[in-house]
Structure 1
Amino acid sequence: MAATTIPRPVLVLDLDNTLLHTIPAVHLAPGEAYLLRRPPPTQPGQQQQMFFDMAATHGYLTKLRPFVRTFLREAGAMYDLRICTMGTRAYAHHMARLLDPDGALFSPSRIVAREDLKEGDRKGLDDVVPGGDVRAVVILDDTVEVWEKHLDNLVPVRPYDYFAGRWRRGKSFAQMRMDEEAEGGLAKALDLLRRAHEMFLDQGAGGDLREVLRRLRKKPELRVPRRC
């Protein structure tokens, strides 16, 4: 009798304010314009973290979240990664190339953008894994409301706001010329995802990541903080 295989779990990732922060150059706040003149230096052996696209109408800047490349590499060893964003398809594919220059993690078929969503103001797992088993899916996003039909699958992450933008109160990381700690939001999320992966495999065939996440949410040390 053939052994029953356990499906490889899927991790659905948001882009903006989860893995990175993008802003039009015209929306830079006072104290942030220095980024256009003098980008932060890249340390020897360190991959680029700040990107400029001045080909767009007004140009925009993208800052990758600290720890994101390590997060993607280690999460990708456990989960099949997908992107689901409210951004346009062109934007989503461009951001995927910044995060995954070699294309090892995010092929075009693994990217779901605004044009692909059945409900324009909501995200759904039917858009990301059509016909797939939602018991084997976990979602990482800084916005809870857009996943109202799949809250049991959701791991909320603290939003990453590097730039002040038009809505932020108080000084931004860019204005203070500092950044989120490397052991910040994504590192905490990765700890939870490791535990969830182990527990899901321990359940064997028929396991349910939603039940795993319910159990993990009861552990204070593994809770991922939500938006303040």
Structure 2
Amino acid sequence: MAIQNLKATVNSSSSSIRANSIKHVRDENLKTLLSKKKLHLVLDLDNTILESSIFEDLTKYDRDYIQRSVGVKMIEEKKLYQWVCEGKGYKVRLSVFPDVYLTKLRPYVKTFLKEASKLFDKSIFTLGNLAYTTKMLELLDPERLYINSQVITREYVPLSTPWRKGHDLLKSHERVVLVVDDAKDVWEANTKNLIDIAPYGFFDDESSDKKSWTRKWEDESDKYGELARVLRELKKIHKEFYNLEEGEDYESRDVRDAIEEVKRKFSLQGTKQGMISQHAKETTSEIDECFKSMDLNCRRNRLNRIQTSHDVM
């Protein structure tokens, strides 16, 4: 009994030390983020900012697509990447031969990473393995200018929850973390930190009713696509987080509240309440401009009177 109590005490002490250590790291990271007026953005890889497939797994349609002039041109122009995995592949396979992969970056992704870096420290959290993730980082951000925080892969995920992602592995406090991931269910415990994004499906998928981009002979729009839309939303949330009211400080702010407020404002667009609010802003702006104009005219009239009195004298 005494031995069991001793073990419990040791385990409890270890857990306490670990918890204090994590809190210290997160506290220090929070100070850094707030000093730079940034937040922590966590990005998924597959079907969020890119899509990869082993060539052998492609449908017959996509194999033909890749081997036609359109596919050859995309590879030549580095709009589509073909590479060989010499080590352990992204998927577990019985083949002894190296896998040939194809990776398609989501349109606008490099601009997204560059623009978002002004407001966020960015991490990658993927259930792909380290070898695959390292290759993806070479394609996305070879100099690591924009993905400047953590890279969390399958190897770091507890065996007890192999298909789950969570805040427990992140070095930032949950109240400054935003997540962009097409798979919501893997973030079961952190849904309030999630930003919705539609999955990117460039390659043909016979199990889906939705047409792939190869089937459409098109690709997602840069300007009007999902990453451009998400970037606009992230900018609004960042602005809302750092928009302090009188008497507030950053220590009281929570990104989850900022997300809800941005959603609330968006839902008001087009409603009577929203139009009244917008009308009030426009009216106030007009009044301000009017007063500025009046003040300018008053100063001009006063100057004219002074000049006129001097002329009379």
Q: Under TM normalisation by the shorter chain, which class is it? A: 0.7 to 0.9
2:95 aligned with 1:54, yes or no? no
Asked whether the equivalents of residues 113 and 147 of structure 2 are also in contact (C-alpha less than 8 Å), the reply is no
Distance, in Å, in 2 between the alignment partners of 1:159 and 1:170 is 11
The answer to whether residue 109 in structure 2 is matched with residue 64 in structure 1 is no
Cα distance in 2 for residues equivalent to 1:185 and 1:40: 26
* 1:143–1:156 CA contact under 8 A, matched in 2: no
Could you tell me which residue of structure 2 aligns to residue 210 of structure 1?
Answer: 256
User: Using CA pairs below 8 Å that are at least 6 residues apart, which structure has the higher relative contact order?
Assistant: 1
From the two aligned structures, give the one with the greater helix fraction: 2
- Cα displacement (A) at 1:166: 4.7
Q: How far apart are 1:165 and its partner, in Å?
A: 3.3
Q: Is the 8 A contact 1:50 1:62 kept in 2?
A: yes
1:22–1:135 distance in 2 versus 1, CA, 3 Å: same
Does the residue aligned with 2:202 lie in a helix, a strand or coil?
coil
What is the distance in 2 between the residues matched to 1:101 and 1:140?
A: 21
Contact 1:117 1:124 in 2 (8 A): no
- Mapped partners of 1:103, 1:170: distance in 2: 34
Partners in 1 of 2:163 and 2:146 — Cα distance? 26
Structure 1 length-normalised TM: 0.85
Q: Identify the range of structure 1 (50-59 vs 178-187) with the bigger mean alpha-carbon deviation.
A: 50-59
Equivalent residues of 1:11, 1:139 under 8 A apart = yes
- Aligned alpha-carbon RMSD (Å): 2.4
**Partner-residue secondary structure (3-state), 1:48:** coil
- 1:16 corresponds to which residue? 46
Give 5+ residue unaligned stretches, structure 1.
223-228
Q: Which position in structure 2 is the counterpart of 1:167?
A: 207
SS of 2:62's equivalent in the other structure is coil
Runs of 4+ in 1 over 2 A off after TM superposition: 4-8, 36-42, 54-58, 165-171
Gaps of 5+ in 2: 1-30, 87-97, 270-313
The percentage of counterpart residues that share the same residue type is 33
SS in 2 for 1:80: strand
1:174 is aligned with what amino acid?
Answer: T
Counterpart mapping for 1:27-38 below 5 A? 27-33=57-63, 34-36=65-67, 38=69
Name the SS for the 1:60 alignment partner. strand
SS of corresponding position for 1:138 = strand
TM-score by length of 2: 0.63
User: Secondary structure of 2:82's partner?
Assistant: strand
**Aligned-residue offset at 1:126:** 1.6
Is 1:139 paired with 2:169? no
